[in-house]
Amino acid sequence: MNRNKLVINEFSNEKSAQQYAENWPANPESLQLYENGFQCGGCAFFAPWNADWGLCCHQKSVHFSETVFEHFTCSSYVNEGWGPHSFTEDVRFHCRCRG
């Protein structure tokens, strides 16, 4: 029996929502990524649910398997642009269109 419960229109983890709302008070690296435009929507491991929310698919991220906002970010961010995503760190396989 499948017991998965998908969350597609808000953060699935309240702690992540709080980090975003408070500008990552314990993680200045994430705040700097965010301010420089390196956000989940441009990460190689972001699988969008809709225009604003998606699934973090990066096993190295503390947010792995969470629903996150496209403008969220973390220190495991892998820049691929806001187009198609490859779900790999290997830049040879990244989309060349850059979104």
Q: How many residues would you count in the chain?
A: 99
Domain boundaries, the chain: 6-98
Rounded CA separation 20/72 (Å): 7
- Asked whether the beta carbons of 33 and 39 are under 8 A apart, the reply is yes
Least confident of 7-21, 32-46, 47-61, 85-99: 85-99
pLDDT tens-digit readout, 43-95: 999 999 999 999 999 999 999 999 999 999 999 999 999 999 999 999 999 98
Residue 55, SS3 per DSSP: strand
With 0-12 / 13-18 / 19 or more C-beta atoms within 10 angstroms meaning exposed / middle / buried, residue 69 is middle
- Asked whether the beta carbons of 31 and 23 are under 8 A apart, the reply is yes
